[in-house]
Structure 1
């Protein structure tokens, strides 16, 4: 009975690994490309219809281990992000939102 359970668990692990490998996307980024950035910390306006992708941003350089240096064309600001948080920008208009929060001193 234990041997059967062991074989069953090995089979399950192998199938799960194959399924998860299919989900991994091979994204190759080059300097000068346009990309969208996934913003997981977007909690100011909760809602199902709010897009979690912002951009487009330009890739300034590609660093080692998947780090990408982005540049905002509007402000010229640059910063590093993990390449897993990016996807290729295919064109079209993207609405840019700017939120300004005024803080009051107590």
Structure 2
């Protein structure tokens, strides 16, 4: 009788471990997919940028310096992108129209 219980305990332990492994693999796959979706390379104003959630942050030339310089460049790139999106939302362009 104890042999049957020990065998059942071992099988249950293996099932739990395999289930935990499957859950971890699914979680990692979901994180990988989210990372691929959110972090990309995109073209903005004729140049390539590292983008996060569709926002161009780091240009190719911005990466070569030190980290504080790269962060400052990313902030400037973000501001440029944000300003362009605000212009698009208003239905205007960067060019001025004379009336």
Q: Does TM, normalized by the shorter one, top 0.5?
A: no
Normalised to the residue count of structure 2, the TM-score between the two structures is: 0.31
More helix by share: 2
**Between structures 1 and 2, the one with greater strand share:** 1
